[in-house]
Chains A and B, each alone.
Chain A
Amino acid sequence: MKKSSSLVMAALLLAAAGTSFAAGGDLGQTTKQETNWTAIVMFAVFVAATLWITKWAAARTKSAASFYNAGGGITGFQNGLAIAGDYMSAASFLGISAMVMGVGYDGLIYSIGFLVGWPVITFLMAERLRNLGKFTFADVAGYRFQQGPIRIFAACGTLVVVAFYLIAQMVGAGQLIKLLFGLDYGYAVAIVGALMMVYVLFGGMTATTWVQIIKACMLLAGVTFMAIMVLAQYGFSPEALFAKAVEVKTAIALSGKTAALAAASAASAAASSPEAAASAAAALAKAQAIDPAKEGLKVMGPGVFLKDPVSAISFGMALMFGTAGLPHILMRFFTVPDAKEARKSVLWATTWIGYFYILIFIIGFGAITLVLTNPEVADVVKGTIKGGAGTANMAAVLVAKTVGGNVFYGFISAVAFATILAVVAGLTLSGASAVSHDLYATVIKKGKADSASELRMSRITTFALGILAVVLGFAFEQINVAFMVALAFAIAASANFPVLFLSVLWKDCTTKGAVIGGFLGLISSVGLTIVSPSVWEATLHNPKGSAWFPYMSPCLFSMTIGFVGVWLFSILDRSPAAAAEREAFASQQVRSETGLGASSASGH
């Protein structure tokens, strides 16, 4: 039993921690539940409301500029909510609460990793991004560089990150719809694909932002209510909640010990050979060594998460710097009117995300005390939720059912699903911007495309990306979602981030350096992930131990390659063009620091 509980733990950690990240998470393979009509109706209401907003937004989306950045008219507070919405994904909501239910404290360590990148973005990047950029991060990275090569790189970086992220979200949606609504996988992929296309095609950034804001408000209201109701059961004393959770976990460990002892003595009685007797004796000794009280207390302290220091650092770097290279997050800095609002939006985003993670921790403990003790929904002896594969992800929604009844349960399920929809819309929009603004308008048309044809191009791309997302969703049904998102974060940190960072802050950076270094980061992060155990062994079925890259995240190495690449090829670049680019740094620096000539709110 100890083995099985540690297996559950390992699976959870692998699911929620080992390879998964904020906006994706391993929702894993799930088993279809009963059809949940309340949730479906609630979701339909959400869709109706957002479609109405899309109609309103469509009237304002007349130019390419308003398609990309909502006319720059979003306030810092609104944008903060939208950024937080991008972050408070189905995976952080369902995945982290499931992780806290399984292993307790480790869930907190995991969530903190996502938060700590934000201050660094604020201090070093946010206002420079806003001052230099207009629509895409290539505007910033390529401010003083040759437009062709840098935009091609930026579009590649964007599309690769978006593609992996999209796969994760589509597959996650398919797995979630089975759990939350009790519908088949295919419905989810089709619903998400179709609705997302409507939002983005007609409403552009305005609709995409407002869908995200509404979802963020609903989710924050929902988790606030849940956390209050959980705490209310324990007289608002966290200590009482934790004590009860330890008691539940101790009881689970005790029943595990009893079962293990019984199994071991049965095996020893039935043993016919000395080897079998020896292994039974070993199992017996192991079972006897279990101290249930100690096992129960484990939820209150750090466990197996972040075991080897290299993985820990590598993982931390991907979280911290990946955020600063995610195109769908970066584009949100261009929707606010000025640097002041850009800063405010990060402060609001950080506040909401931090608040959210504290509540999720409480809700996870609520799941231990309220859900794992309820024989109707959980196997109280083993300490797991009933219903087959992937049901640990139901932790938060089952807490909702316990504290708020069926209607609230439906509401939270609908919100969890809406989350994916909102994130997918943002991703698609950033992919479409990269193609129409960076590739079509700047590279192909050399900046001479008129707004109407650029807008047409972005809509065609949106349509194509929507179809692609649906196809990928069906093609990759079996893929490990967590790994896809991990890859997206690692690529963003290794390719987009070094280029963005050095082009803005380092005088000697040149086009050649940025493009070659960026591609090296891109290729190495994808390559190292392929030869890491999670892909080489788990996905490609090579023998165990044959993966030559042993760590769970490539970021420490690939991000270093990206940075060194940009640096090396920049200093080696002695061309006259490079000299001119270095010359232009002073002007770029003044503009990035003062906002001189920054594109104004109305986007021309």
Chain B
Amino acid sequence: MSDPIVDKIKRDPKYLELRKKRNGLGVLLTVLMLVVYYGYVSLIAFNKAFLAQPLGDGVTTIGIPIGFGVIIFTIVITGIYVRRANSEFDALTKDILKDASK
């Protein structure tokens, strides 16, 4: 089951570059996300008092900005990936497909 176009792409250095860059970024960001989320969950499981301490004089606790921060981090990290994938990686992919069909 060998497809000449597939074989051509597989040997294309641009394809190797795409894989290296994209998979590297994907794995890096996945690990970051897991660290942030499970770090947060571990704080809840093992150090509730930390999250419950007030921020300044009021009643707002440190847990509020941290919790909202996790939500915003999730959106931002997705945004970073999508931005790079939709510009840099897609341009590279387009080149690869164009070269392959020559």
Is the Cβ of B75 less than 8 Å from the Cβ of A350? yes
With A and B bound together, what is the CA distance between A120 and B38 in angstroms?
A: 14
Residues of B near A300 (CB, < 8 A) are 52, 54, 59-61, 63-64
Residues of B near A354 (CB, < 8 A) are 71-72, 74-75
From A116, A242, A344, contact of B37 by CB (8 A): A116
From A105, A112, A343, A590, contact of B82 by CB (8 A): A343
Is A357 located at the chain interface by the 8 A CB criterion? yes
Q: Shortest CB–CB separation between residue B37 and chain A, in angstroms?
A: 5
Q: Shortest CB–CB separation between residue B93 and chain A, in angstroms?
A: 5
Given A119-B81, A120-B33: A594 touches B97 (CB 8 Å cut-off) = yes
With A and B bound together, what is the CA distance between A364 and B60 in angstroms?
A: 15
CB closest chain-A residue, reference B74: A115
Within 8 A of B (CB), among A583-597: 583-584, 586-587, 590-591, 593-596
Is A246 located at the chain interface by the 8 A CB criterion? yes
Is A388 located at the chain interface by the 8 A CB criterion? no
Is the Cβ of A312 less than 8 Å from the Cβ of B41? yes
Residues of B near A156 (CB, < 8 A) are none
Q: Shortest CB–CB separation between residue A355 and chain B, in angstroms?
A: 8
**Interface size class of chain A, counting residues whose CB lies under 8 Å from the partner chain:** 35 or more
With A and B bound together, what is the CA distance between A474 and B25 in angstroms?
A: 49
With A and B bound together, what is the CA distance between A127 and B84 in angstroms?
A: 13
Is the Cβ of A596 less than 8 Å from the Cβ of B9? yes
Is A545 located at the chain interface by the 8 A CB criterion? no
With A and B bound together, what is the CA distance between A302 and B19 in angstroms?
A: 41
Is the Cβ of A116 less than 8 Å from the Cβ of B33? yes
With A and B bound together, what is the CA distance between A115 and B76 in angstroms?
A: 12
Question: B31-52 CB contact bits vs A (8 Å, 1 = yes)?
Answer: 0011001101100110011011
CB closest chain-A residue, reference B54: A300
Residues of B near A346 (CB, < 8 A) are 78, 82
Total residue contacts A-B, CB cutoff 8 A: 153
Within 8 A of B (CB), among A562-604: 580, 583-584, 586-587, 590-591, 593-596
CB closest chain-B residue, reference A111: B71
Is the Cβ of A122 less than 8 Å from the Cβ of B37? no
Main secondary structure of the interface of B (DSSP, over half): helix
CB closest chain-A residue, reference B87: A340
Residues of A near B54 (CB, < 8 A) are 300
With A and B bound together, what is the CA distance between A124 and B22 in angstroms?
A: 10
Residues of A near B78 (CB, < 8 A) are 118-119, 122, 346-347, 350-351
From A116, A118, A239, contact of B60 by CB (8 A): A239
Is the Cβ of B97 less than 8 Å from the Cβ of A344? no
Is the Cβ of A358 less than 8 Å from the Cβ of B86? no
With A and B bound together, what is the CA distance between A305 and B63 in angstroms?
A: 14
Is the Cβ of A590 less than 8 Å from the Cβ of B9? yes
Residues of A near B93 (CB, < 8 A) are 593-595
Is A449 located at the chain interface by the 8 A CB criterion? no
Question: A296-313 CB contact bits vs B (8 Å, 1 = yes)?
Answer: 010011100110010011
With A and B bound together, what is the CA distance between A112 and B91 in angstroms?
A: 34
Residues of A near B2 (CB, < 8 A) are 587
Is A235 located at the chain interface by the 8 A CB criterion? no
From A108, A239, A301, A590, contact of B15 by CB (8 A): A590
Is A243 located at the chain interface by the 8 A CB criterion? yes
From B22, B41, B58, contact of A242 by CB (8 A): B58
Residues of B near A238 (CB, < 8 A) are 60, 64
Is A123 located at the chain interface by the 8 A CB criterion? yes
Residues of B near A306 (CB, < 8 A) are 41, 44-45
Is the Cβ of A580 less than 8 Å from the Cβ of B71? no
Given A306-B44, A595-B97: A122 touches B82 (CB 8 Å cut-off) = yes
Is A316 located at the chain interface by the 8 A CB criterion? yes
Is the Cβ of B45 less than 8 Å from the Cβ of A309? yes
Residues of B near A124 (CB, < 8 A) are 26, 30
Among B64, B71, B78, B100, residue most surrounded by chain A Cβ atoms (within 10 Å): B78
Is the Cβ of B52 less than 8 Å from the Cβ of A596? no
From A242, A309, A594, contact of B9 by CB (8 A): A594
Is the Cβ of B59 less than 8 Å from the Cβ of A297? yes
Is A109 located at the chain interface by the 8 A CB criterion? yes
Residues of B near A246 (CB, < 8 A) are 59
**Can you give 9 contacting A-B residue pairs, CB < 8 Å?**
A105-B61, A120-B33, A123-B26, A246-B59, A300-B59, A300-B63, A301-B51, A306-B45, A312-B41
Known: A306-B41, A312-B41, A340-B85. 8 other contacts (CB 8 A): A112-B74, A123-B81, A302-B52, A320-B37, A347-B75, A354-B71, A587-B3, A596-B97
Top 6 A-B residue pairs of the complex, sorted by shortest distance between their CB atoms: A301-B52, A123-B26, A347-B82, A108-B67, A116-B37, A300-B61
Please report B residues at the A interface, Cβ cutoff 8 Å.
Answer: 1-3, 5-6, 9-10, 15, 18-19, 22, 25-27, 29-30, 33-34, 37-38, 40-41, 44-45, 48-49, 51-52, 54, 58-61, 63-64, 67-68, 70-72, 74-75, 77-79, 81-82, 85-86, 90, 93, 96-97, 100
